[in-house]
Amino acid sequence: MPELIIDDIPAHVPEGTNVLEAARSIGITIPHFCWHPALGKAGACRACAVKMLEGPIKGIQMSCMLPAQDGMVVSTTDGEAVAMRRAVIEWLMINHPHDCPVCDEGGECQLQDYTIAGGHSIRRYNGLKRTHVNQYLGEQIEHEMNRCIQCYRCVHFYQEYAGGTDFGVMGRAGSVYFGRQQDGQLESPFSGNLADICPTGVFTDKTARFRARYWDYDMAPSICPGCSLGCNTVPMARYRELLKVTARRNDEVNGWFICDRGRFSNTAVNAPERPRQAQVDDEAVSMDIALDSLIERLTGFLELHGPEGLAIVGSPRMSQEAAIMAARLREVTGAGTLCYFGDVLHAERTLEAVSLLNTDNSTSQEDVRQADLIAIMECDLLTEAPMMALAVRQAWRNGARIFIVGSECRLDSGQQNLYEVGAAVSLAAVPFTEARRPLVICGIRHKGLEAIRDTAQLGVKTSFIMDGPNAFGCAMLALEQGAISFSEALAGGRVKGIISLEADLPPELSPEIRVLAAADWLSTHLTEKAEVVLPVTSWVEMDGTYVNNEGRTQHFKQVMKPGVPIKGLTPELHPPRIHRHDPPGGDILPTEKIISELLERLGAANE
Ligand code: FES
């Protein structure tokens, strides 16, 4: 552990830490653009200059390029170092358009921050600025090349970290260009990260362009519901509209990045037509009236069919709180059936996978990034869990061997760019014993329980790719509560009516089965059929918990208040201008609160 002194403060850091990181570890921020914790050093921007006063190296040095060593005495405030950093900023700003007032990055721009922090305010250069023609990079990322400071972060991320081949750097000397060979949609499923890592406004999120400044956003730490991995995010909203989603660092889970599917999936949350108004027999009513009506119908139903005929049906997209309350509702009503999964195979495989995982063999994305041998079976990672494919790529970049097991494992062309693979006919053919940190990634969509059991019996770390952000949590509850899949319940022939709680069931539901109520924030065939429709909050409109595919419990916070978004000032887009205290469409509750209200009306203790 090297020991060094930075600005009179001693620092002890692990071997291999650079001086810039060592300074960060004791709370000293050295300006930087090209260095990024996940991408490493580039030595391109020269903004991180420090003065080495004592030790093996002396003089002005780039702190990101210099490994910390014993005996180093570093000054970040030395006049020469400060002058060097100031000169670099002035030089970077020579060609920068100074368009902060109209730049979408304004307020969250590293260049803006360090320019102001460094005191650069007078422009001495009177020549013409270098300019570029921007490219069309698709509907998600906006390109503004004139703002570029040639830090190379974008190309390091896109090509090296994410394996993209359609974007790179062109040109030479004082005129380099970061883009594609020609206009067109960026092909990488991780392209949205360009907006997060660009330290200026060259790449910005086009879907949220000119909608808000950083300080205008409602934001909170959250978890992506796009698959079972539970990547950490910060959704940003304004005027009840989810405008963009950014990655939130979690070294154990997603690291610094998220996939485009998680980033650009705001449409369903913002859809004005999503269920926002409680209904009874297609008539709009208040939430209170809808809940009273449901109790009345439920009482009648239970008298007619008995509790055996009732099924409480949820799904792995419910929060854990809602899933627990669904079990409580079953208990209080005496319902004959509790379901968290629609399909019997989905339920069986998820329950089996969950019962085979424990703290020793469960695998995080970080474990995957650190592995030296990975066997992938029964899954198409880019479709089912894109960030896991990115984690496998990092392992492969570090020298891990990757095996695709069996013929059922789909590998599309995008995935072929991410890592090279070897084929193995079966798990027995994978040389696990030759590796120090081997692991298996197994899908549960395509094949049966055998593959899942075989995987667990190997005694190596295992990651099961599940379906739904809270599949693990629902499976744990299903095991505890004796819940069965909806298809099994149907086959039993007892179900006469259901209460659907964010359930995903096949559309061919017999008309003989009454959908007494459907609580959901998405429009589904169940909300269309339901006698009582109970709109609920989406994950950005409430606090909650998901348990990810490794069994990690992660909380998410409310980002925005529910209600019809104010999308613009035109009558078509703006909600009705009626003087009221609550926002239109705001009379909705999280699923667990809806259940809690029902329990209260049923006279049950509500703990
Ligand atoms: Fe050190 Fe760019 S951060 S040279």
**pLDDT tens digits along 150-170:** 999 999 999 999 999 999 999
Give the residue-averaged pLDDT of 488-501.
94
Q: Is residue 365's pLDDT more than 60?
A: yes
Q: What is the mean pLDDT of the chain?
A: 93
Give the residue-averaged pLDDT of 427-434.
91
Same domain, 498 and 429: no
Same domain, 501 and 589: yes
What lies within 8 Å, CB to CB, of 288 at 6+ separation is none
Same domain, 293 and 397: no
pLDDT, residue 603, reads 87
- Domain of 585: which CATH number? 3.40.50.740
Atom of ligand 1 at shortest distance to CA of 35? 3
Q: How far apart are the C-alpha atoms of 345 and 12, rounded to whole Å?
A: 53
Q: Is residue 406's pLDDT more than 80?
A: no
* Boundary (domain end) residue, out of 425, 458, 491: 458
- Residue 78 vs residue 509, higher pLDDT: 78
pLDDT, residue 226, reads 96
Please name the residue whose Cα sits nearest to atom 3 of ligand 1.
Answer: 32
Structure tokens at 111: 């260049």
**With a 6 A CB cut-off, is 35 part of the ligand 1 pocket?**
yes
Same domain, 558 and 441: no
Structure tokens at 412: 């599309």
Q: Within 10 A of 325 (CB to CB), how many other CB atoms are there?
A: 25
Residue range 1-29, pLDDT digits in tens: 899 999 999 999 999 999 999 999 999 99
Q: How far apart are the C-alpha atoms of 277 and 376, rounded to whole Å?
A: 45
Range of the domain at 436: 364-458
* Boundary (domain end) residue, out of 250, 270, 290: 270
Number of separate domains in the chain: 4
Atom of ligand 1 at shortest distance to CA of 62? 1
**With a 6 A CB cut-off, is 349 part of the ligand 1 pocket?**
no
* Boundary (domain end) residue, out of 66, 93, 120: 93
| Ligand 1: centre distance to CA 535 (Å) | 50
pLDDT, residue 570, reads 64
pLDDT, residue 605, reads 62
Percent above pLDDT 70 for the chain: 97
pLDDT, residue 572, reads 65
Give the residue-averaged pLDDT of 271-292.
94
Q: Is residue 448's pLDDT more than 70?
A: no
pLDDT, residue 456, reads 75
Among 29, 45, 156, 197, residue to substitute to test ligand 1 (most atoms within 8 Å of Cβ): 45
Q: Among residues 530, 589, 502, which one has the least CA distance to residue 279?
A: 530
Same domain, 304 and 406: no
Same domain, 156 and 243: yes
Same domain, 311 and 410: no
Same domain, 189 and 337: no
Q: How far apart are the C-alpha atoms of 444 and 349, rounded to whole Å?
A: 6
Give the residue-averaged pLDDT of 573-585.
77
pLDDT, residue 335, reads 96
pLDDT, residue 415, reads 62
Same domain, 372 and 520: no
Q: Is residue 569's pLDDT more than 60?
A: no
Among 18, 19, 29, 34, residue to substitute to test ligand 1 (most atoms within 8 Å of Cβ): 34
- Burial string for 192-202 (b: 16+ CB within 10 Å, else e) reads bbbbbbbbbbb
- Domain of 79: which CATH number? 3.10.20.740
Q: Is residue 297's pLDDT more than 70?
A: yes
Residue range 37-85, pLDDT digits in tens: 999 888 999 999 999 999 999 999 999 999 999 999 999 999 999 999 9
